């Protein structure tokens, strides 16, 4: 009877060890998945930040402010931020003007896409319709 109990205890201990190994493997997979999730969140946040920076740069370019030196540009932006602070009416006016300019530019860009383009001929103009093709004159080589 004691041997049967010992044998049963050994089987239970082996099952316990197998369950612990399985739990360790599951824990490792979970940690790996969480690390991947964190990495993807960091990538997404970096992409959003890059997008915002590029859009801000494009707005600066649209206003032709890229020609200013960094200090002048920063000073102007700081003054702009201060004047918008506590003045929602002024900010609303700026938004309306900015949205109108963006819409104008997008409309202009859309028109350019739909306009037919002239084929580039590297400085040559096409012959008028109905014109005879150019002829080549061949010279006979004298003996």
Confidence of residue 128 (pLDDT cuts 50, 70, 90): low
Q: What span, in angstroms and rounded, lies between the C-alpha atoms of 118 and 29?
A: 60
Q: What span, in angstroms and rounded, lies between the C-alpha atoms of 49 and 43?
A: 10
Percent of the chain with pLDDT over 70: 82
Which tokens belong to 128? 């008028």
Given a cut of 90, is residue 59 above it in pLDDT? yes
H or E segment and range at residue 8: helix 2-62
Given a cut of 70, is residue 19 above it in pLDDT? yes
Q: Which residues, 6 or more positions from 132, have their beta carbon under 8 angstroms from its beta carbon?
A: none
Confidence of residue 115 (pLDDT cuts 50, 70, 90): confident
- Which residue has 């400085």 as its token pair? 123
Given a cut of 60, is residue 112 above it in pLDDT? yes
Provide the 8-state DSSP code for 66: T
- Its pTM stands at 0.57
């Amino acid at each position: 009877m004691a041997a049967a109990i010992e044998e049963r205890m050994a089987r239970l201990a082996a099952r316990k060890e197998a369950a612990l190994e399985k739990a360790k493997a599951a824990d490792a997979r979970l940690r790996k998945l969480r690390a991947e999730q964190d990495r993807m969140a960091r990538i997404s946040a970096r992409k959003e930040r890059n997008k915002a920076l590029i859009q801000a740069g494009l707005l600066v370019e649209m206003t032709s402010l890229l020609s200013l030196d960094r200090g002048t540009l920063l000073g102007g932006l700081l003054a702009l931020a201060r004047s918008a602070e506590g003045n929602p009416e002024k900010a609303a006016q700026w938004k309306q003007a900015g949205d109108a300019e963006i819409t104008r530019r997008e409309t202009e860009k859309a028109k350019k896409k739909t306009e037919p383009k002239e084929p580039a001929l590297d400085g040559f103009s096409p012959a008028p319709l109905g014109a005879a093709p150019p002829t080549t004159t061949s010279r006979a080589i004298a003996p």
